[in-house]
Amino acid sequence: MRTQFLLVPALVTAFVAAACGSDSGDSGNSTPADTCPHDYSKFNGQTPAVSFQADVLPVMRRGCGLSSVCHGAASGSAADLYLGPKLSDPEPDATARQQIVSAMVGVASKTAPSMSLVASGDPAQSFMMLKMDGCQDSAGLTCTAQPGATGTSACGDSMPQASPILSADERNLFRRWIAQGAQAD
């Protein structure tokens, strides 16, 4: 009887943990081991439409360009990749937005040269998505650690660095932007 008494709470706890631990895509708090590689089989990258200026850039300015340490300085940013000014700086004009996009789309990653940072039309082949998903170490890539990079992996830390991964909705926003051609609109 005592064994049953102890077993029931343990089973209930295990059931609740399993139910709460599934990655519904809402929390964005799943670990890379739970979600790698991202499953694109049910992903609809064509709707809703995504605008770089209205949708993607604000997330980049909040999380990627917060400081010159990451990707917020026009020169000297991590991996020489500038992802836009921080939120306290003026909004980039059309020319600046085009420069930001041109620095990513079709450009080989310095860390994983076999992949583009952003492969227009193909988020699954975009190193930036692997980094945002925290899957860069499970992709079987040959990586070269970049000067000043932190962490122990040659493929680098997930992005944004030293912060929780972006929410599933934010990462899907980037996926749709890439799937829709990664334009600087």
Q: What is the per-residue pLDDT for 21? A: 30
The predicted pLDDT at position 80 comes to 61
pLDDT category of residue 17 using cuts at 50, 70 and 90: very low
Q: Do residues 118 and 104 touch, judged by C-beta distance below 8 A?
A: yes
Range of 35-44, 116-125, 158-167 with top mean pLDDT = 116-125
Q: Mind listing the pLDDT tens digit for each residue in 76-104?
A: 555 567 666 666 778 889 998 998 899 89
Distance separating alpha carbons of residues 149 and 102, to the nearest angstrom: 23
Beta bridge partners of 105: 118
Distance CA 182, CA 138 (A): 25
The predicted structure's pLDDT at residue 123: 98
DSSP letter, residue 53 = I
pTM of the model: 0.74
Which range (15-29, 41-55, 98-112, 126-140) has the least confidence?
Answer: 15-29
pLDDT above 60 (res 24): no
Weakest mean pLDDT among 23-27, 115-119, 138-142, 152-156: 23-27
How many C-alpha atoms does 64 have within 13 Å on its Cβ side? 27
Say what the pLDDT of residue 9 is: 34
Rounded to the nearest angstrom, the gap between the alpha carbon of residue 152 and the centroid of all alpha carbons in its chain is 19
